[in-house]
Amino acid sequence: MFLTPSPPSSFQLASDEIHCWRASLDVPPETFARLYASLTPDERTRSARFHFERDQQRFIGARGVLRDLLGRYLQTQPRQIRFVYNAFGKPDLGPEFASRLKFNLSHSAGLALIAITTASNVGVDLEYIRAQSDYADIARRFFSVAELDYLSALPGHLYAEAFFSCWTKKEAYLKARGEGLATPLNSFSVPLTTDPAHTHVDLCGGWSLYTLRPAPGYAGALAIEGTGWRLRQWQWKNLAMSSERRDTIESASNSRSGDCAMRLAYTA
Count of domains for the chain: 1
- Counting residues of the chain whose pLDDT is more than 70, the rounded percentage is 80
Question: pLDDT tens digits, residue range 177-189?
Answer: 998 777 889 998 8
Compute CA distances 203 → 81, 176, 188, 211, whole Å: 32, 12, 9, 13
Asked if the model's pLDDT at residue 255 lies above 70, the reply is: no
Q: What is the DSSP letter of 60?
A: H
Of the ranges 102-111, 193-202, 227-236, which one carries the lowest mean pLDDT score?
193-202
Phi, psi dihedral angles at 67 (to 5 degrees): -65, -40
110 found inside a domain: yes
260 found inside a domain: no
Of 181, 105, 176, 104, the C-alpha closest to 142 is 181
Asked if the model's pLDDT at residue 53 lies above 90, the reply is: yes
CATH of the domain at 146: 3.90.470.20
pLDDT-derived band of residue 266, with 50, 70 and 90 as boundaries?
A: low
162 found inside a domain: yes
Sign for the CA dihedral angle at 25, 28, 33, 38 comes to negative
Average pLDDT over residues 4-8: 48
Please give the residue range of the domain that contains residue 111: 17-28+102-255
Average pLDDT of the chain is 84
Asked if the model's pLDDT at residue 22 lies above 60, the reply is: yes
pLDDT-derived band of residue 249, with 50, 70 and 90 as boundaries?
A: very low
Sheet holding 201-203, edge to edge: 122-128, 218-225, 207-212, 201-203
265 found inside a domain: no
Of the ranges 96-100, 127-131, 199-203, which one carries the lowest mean pLDDT score?
199-203
Question: pLDDT tens digits, residue range 106-131?
Answer: 999 999 999 999 989 999 999 999 87
